[in-house]
């Protein structure tokens, strides 16, 4: 028996949605699209805003100024060849306590230009004339050039001799020979704050003979041929401004820290010194030549050293020999071989970025701890300056100061909004410059772009210490590279 189909008949109205339902669903779909579109637009707008914000930074003006209180670095390893670095004119330096009238920024910049001129002259002298006799030459060195000790320089304290005597030395990557004033002064010595080193009171001091191979290394380190006095090797460094240091080339125990002593360290014991050297006792040569402390300690530290210069002169940084304390985030660029000098560290600079604008510039650049303001090729500097000015139109320009031609009057402001600046080196290494390396305070409310241009393309480009601040810079001579890490000194 066939059963009837008991399923309920499907009405036509139940088989398809009504017109009102279709309209409602279409409205909902359109509403979803509109909301999604607005959300996408908002996200794109926010992304653009984030991108723009990423290229600018707002900084308190007070952060550009020094404090009267010293803030020491905590990253220095006191056990392994690490020295505290202080700015000569800041509260961390003992020298600043005895200075009645602080040095002006204009004078610092004048001294800085003299140093740059000395570097250029040194390179020209080596290229065109070779080495000179110390009795007749006016050959120049790129460092410690008389008044250059009073510019923006950094000081470390080392121990010399047995028993140890502390000496305050200017750290300088642009010099090989370490030297200090010594007693007795045969003709003249300048005033210094630390007691003068006396070789006769040290049991580990010895002179180097004229016929020794060590004496023959002096020409590359000083630009002058050595002299000879009573069979003792005599060094001589002369400067373009007429200042000089002459004395015995000797060996002595050098103490870096409680557990780090270097025997038979070769240095200059200056017994005739003239010039405006300030109150520092001498210089610590960190160059790449054979007489630098870096080369003399190669077996112990592997020709590796690093330093971090503080962001203001009221902070302290560090100088470390060896690989201790090197950041894992260091990015390296190759060292270039210079045919003009074995002392300087040269790297390839390929670009600068100001805000979102990238400026291509290909140039060999000297890394120099003693030059204050970075020097750039003329066209590259003009591009940097014009781009920076275009980003700072909300602030009134004021008159230039010395070598700084882009200065702003910020007397009506408590902070400044400025574009970010980064330096591009070979091997795709980009180094961000902190705000205090982009603008430099020349007075309480006057800030200037902290770069300067060379007169022509033949002059060397130099990476100055203002732009190096708070960056750990690693010099690995054995591997032929220089590294950068922007994690700070504190």
What CATH number is attached to the domain comprising 455?
2.40.70.10
Residues 279, 379: one domain? no
pLDDT of residue 17: 59
For the segment 69-116, what is each residue's pLDDT rounded down to a tens digit?
666 665 655 556 789 888 766 666 665 555 556 778 898 898 888 888
Whole-number Å distance between alpha carbons of 25 and 30: 9
pTM: 0.83
Question: Which of 288, 321, 354 delimits the end of a domain?
Answer: 321
CB half-sphere exposure, 144, CA atoms < 13 A = 32
Q: Which of 337, 332, 267 is CA-nearest to residue 306?
A: 332
Q: Which residue has the higher pLDDT, 252 or 7?
A: 252
Q: Tell me, yes or no, whether 421 lies in a domain.
A: yes
Residues 183 and 243 grouped into a single domain: yes
Task: Please tell me which residue, 58 or 243, carries the higher pLDDT value.
Answer: 58
45 SS3 class: helix
Q: What domain count does the chain have?
A: 2
46 lies in a domain? no
Region 233-251 average pLDDT: 82
> Is the residue at 49 inside a domain?
no
Q: Are 85 and 137 members of one domain?
A: yes
Report yes or no on 305 lying in a domain. Answer: yes
DSSP state of 373: S
pLDDT band of 289, cuts 50, 70, 90: very high
Quick one: pLDDT at residue 50?
Answer: 47
Structural domain containing residue 295: 74-321
- Is residue 148 in some structural domain? yes
pLDDT the model gives residue 29: 65
**Residues near 483 by Cβ (< 8 Å), separated by ≥ 6?**
306, 326, 330, 331, 332, 333, 472, 473, 474, 476
User: What was the pLDDT predicted at 86?
Assistant: 85
Q: Do 365 and 314 lie in a common domain?
A: no
**Tokens 């000297």 label which residue?**
366
Are 158 and 256 spatial neighbours (Cβ–Cβ below 8 Å)? yes
C-alpha to C-alpha distance for 346 and 362, rounded to whole angstroms? 13
Give Dmax (Cα) for the chain.
140
Whether residue 393 sits in one domain with residue 248: no
Indicate if 304 and 411 belong to the same structural domain.
no
Torsion sign, CA atoms 191, 194, 195, 196: negative
> Among residues 267, 287, 321, which one ends one of the domains?
321
Q: Do 300 and 355 fall into the same domain?
A: no
Q: How far is CA 427 from CA 188, 259, 303, 351, 364, in A?
A: 49, 37, 22, 12, 14
Per-residue pLDDT reduced to its tens digit, 446-462: 999 999 999 999 999 99
Note whether residue 35 is domain-resident.
no
Same domain? 353 vs 300: no
pLDDT greater than 80 at residue 238: no
Domain for residue 33, yes or no? no
**Cα–Cα dist 91/87, whole Å:** 8
Nearest Cα to Cα of residue 344 among 371, 366, 313: 366
Domain co-membership, 307 together with 372: no
Q: Active-site residues: which are they? A: 172, 368
User: Is there a single domain that holds both residue 105 and residue 240?
Assistant: yes
The pLDDT value recorded for residue 111 is 83
C-alpha to C-alpha distances, 414 to 46, 64, 379, nearest whole angstrom = 27, 11, 33
Q: Of 302, 321, 340, at which residue does a domain stop?
A: 321
Evaluate whether residue 174 is within a structural domain: yes
Query: In degrees rounded to 5, what are phi and psi of residue 107?
Result: -70, -40
Within this chain, do residues 230 and 277 fall inside the same structural domain, yes or no? yes
Contacts of 244 (CB under 8 A, 6+ apart): 236, 237, 238, 272, 273, 274, 275
Are both 191 and 313 inside the same structural domain? yes
Total residues belonging to the chain? 490
């Amino acid at each position: 028996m066939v059963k009837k189909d008991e399923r309920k008949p499907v009405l036509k109205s139940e088989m398809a949605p009504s017109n009102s339902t279709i309209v409602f669903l279409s409205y909902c779909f359109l509403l979803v699209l509109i909301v999604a579109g607005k959300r996408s637009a908002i996200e794109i707008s926010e992304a653009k805003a984030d991108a723009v914000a990423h290229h600018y930074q707002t900084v308190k003006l007070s952060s550009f100024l020094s404090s009267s209180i010293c803030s020491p670095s905590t990253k220095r390893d006191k056990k392994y060849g690490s020295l505290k670095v202080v700015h000569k004119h800041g509260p961390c330096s003992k020298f600043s306590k005895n200075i009645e009238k602080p040095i002006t920024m204009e004078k610092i910049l004048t001294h800085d230009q003299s140093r740059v001129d000395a570097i250029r002259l040194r390179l020209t002298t080596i290229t065109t004339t070779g080495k000179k006799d110390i009795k007749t030459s006016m050959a120049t060195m790129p460092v410690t050039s008389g008044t250059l000790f009073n510019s923006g320089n950094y000081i470390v304290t080392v121990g010399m001799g047995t028993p140890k005597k502390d000496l305050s030395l200017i750290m300088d990557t642009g010099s090989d020979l370490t030297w200090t004033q010594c007693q007795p002064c045969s003709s003249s010595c300048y005033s210094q704050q630390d007691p003068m080193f006396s070789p006769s009171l040290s049991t580990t001091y010895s002179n180097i003979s004229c016929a020794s191979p060590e004496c023959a290394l002096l020409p590359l380190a000083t630009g002058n041929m050595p002299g000879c006095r009573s069979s003792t090797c005599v060094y001589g460094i002369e400067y373009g401004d007429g200042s000089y240091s002459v004395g015995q080339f000797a060996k002595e125990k050098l103490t870096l820290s409680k557990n780090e002593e270097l025997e038979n360290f070769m240095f200059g014991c200056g017994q005739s010194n003239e010039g405006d050297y300030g109150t520092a006792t001498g210089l610590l040569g960190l160059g790449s030549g054979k007489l630098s402390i870096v080369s003399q300690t190669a077996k112990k530290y592997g020709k590796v050293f690093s330093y971090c210069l503080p962001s203001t002169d009221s902070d302290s940084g560090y100088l470390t020999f060896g690989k201790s304390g090197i950041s894992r985030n260091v990015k390296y660029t190759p060292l270039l071989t210079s045919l003009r000098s074995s002392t300087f560290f040269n790297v390839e600079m390929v670009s600068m970025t100001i805000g979102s604008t990238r400026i291509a510039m290909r140039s060999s650049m000297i890394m120099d701890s003693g030059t204050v303001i970075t020097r750039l090729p003329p066209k590259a500097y003009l591009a940097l300056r014009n781009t920076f000015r275009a980003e700072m139109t909300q602030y009134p320009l004021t008159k230039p100061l010395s070598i700084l031609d882009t200065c702003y009057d910020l007397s009506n402001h408590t902070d400044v909004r400025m574009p970010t600046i980064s330096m591009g080196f070979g091997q795709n290494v980009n180094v961000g410059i902190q705000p205090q390396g982009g603008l430099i305070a020349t007075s309480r409310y006057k800030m200037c772009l902290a770069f300067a241009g060379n007169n022509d393309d033949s002059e060397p480009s130099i990476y100055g210490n203002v732009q190096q601040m708070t960056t750990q810079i690693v010099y690995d001579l054995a591997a032929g590279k220089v590294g950068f890490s922007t994690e700070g000194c504190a």
